[in-house]
Amino acid sequence: MLEVLGLTAGTTSVYRTMLDHPAYGVEEIAAHCGLTAVQVHDHLDDLARHTLVRVSAERPGQLRAVSPDIALSDALAQQEAELAAKQAQLAASRAAVTRMVADRAEHRAAHGERLLGMDAIQARLERMGHGATVEALASQPGNQRPEDLAAGRPTDAEALSRGIAMRTLYQDSTRHQAHVAVYAHWLLSQGGEVRTAATIPPRMVIIDRREALVPIDPEDNRKGALYVTEPGILAALLDLFEQAWNTAVPLGAAHPEDTRTGLTATERELLRLLGSGLTDDTAGQRLGISSRTVGRHMSSIMERLGASSRFEAGIKAAQRGWL
């Protein structure tokens, strides 16, 4: 249960035993948990690193377990702070990559790297997929067209059959799209990895960390694409992808609510987007949901806040530290 905080099953077992039996020493803990004394000492070191044990004032030389309502709330708060920092870094990286790609678009076009039309894009993707030797990374924001998934399936199947490590990012909203769920679970069955998040980087495909394909227009990937091989741009794209991947939730795992606010990741991001001045339509596009769904989310948030207007909801959300 506490693995999400970085504790192993053995460390968790030792911690629970110390909570249930405060007077136990190392030998008693070892016997109770079916461990050796050396293993118990290793787990105690791990608990100390997580500030879950402290030196006992009553039993010199022994440790006592810190109450979970204190220790675990501190650990959760630290994880929330780290996640917030990662999300801020992700937002800054996203803006930097967008600027960099835009600055380089004209230069790349002069060298014949601008691909116009879906046939040209699909042909390039097929060549990139067949040439992959190590890994294929993809960020696929927004709604996914069934025909686009069908067109890419042969290339994905061929790459996966050769043992190419494939990681794909979708938005949380696609969990409710049946055809995307079917495709994503097929990827999983073939050895690929799939994760989702409320917002993810712009559409991109990166092969072997040496070539990438990004849309000319992030709002309409069917207008054309830019083929990228410059190390500087690739490094920025990779950093952006990895940051998003590390905060995304694996497909099949429950998307947890914020234990402090009760907000889902989508609701928290929606509050942030609307608070920055975006319209329902624009915020919905960023999250891959309709403006009607945006309205339903906001109605639910307003009800929980006891707010009669969005303006009041924004104030109360800020007062509670939700933004």
DSSP bridge pairs for 204? 139
Q: Which residue has the higher pLDDT, 322 or 136?
A: 136
* pLDDT tens-digit readout, 189-237: 888 888 888 778 888 999 999 899 998 877 777 778 888 888 888 999 9
User: How high does pLDDT run on average in the chain?
Assistant: 78
Measure the CA–CA gap between 238 and 76, rounded to whole angstroms: 28
If one looks up domain 81-250 in CATH, what number appears?
3.30.870.10
- Predicted local distance difference test score (pLDDT) of residue 137: 93
Residue-level length of the chain: 323
CA torsion through residues 180, 184, 210, 126, sign: negative
Is 1.10.3720.10 the CATH number for 265-319?
Answer: no
CATH 3.30.870.10 positions along the chain are 81-250
**Which pLDDT band, with edges at 50, 70 and 90, does 162 fall under?**
confident
**Which pLDDT band, with edges at 50, 70 and 90, does 69 fall under?**
low
Nearest to 194 by CA among 265, 252, 255, 125: 252
CATH 1.10.10.10 positions along the chain are 2-66, 265-319
As a dihedral over the C-alpha atoms of residue 262, residue 266, residue 269, residue 271, rounded to 10 degrees, the angle is: -60
CATH topology of domain 2-66: Arc Repressor Mutant, subunit A (1.10.10)
Q: Two tokens at 241?
A: 């992808």
φ/ψ of residue 315, rounded to 5: -65, -45
**Which pLDDT band, with edges at 50, 70 and 90, does 131 fall under?**
confident
Q: What is the DSSP string of 255-302?
A: -PPPTTT---HHHHHHHHHHHTT--HHHHHHHHT--HHHHHHHHHHHH
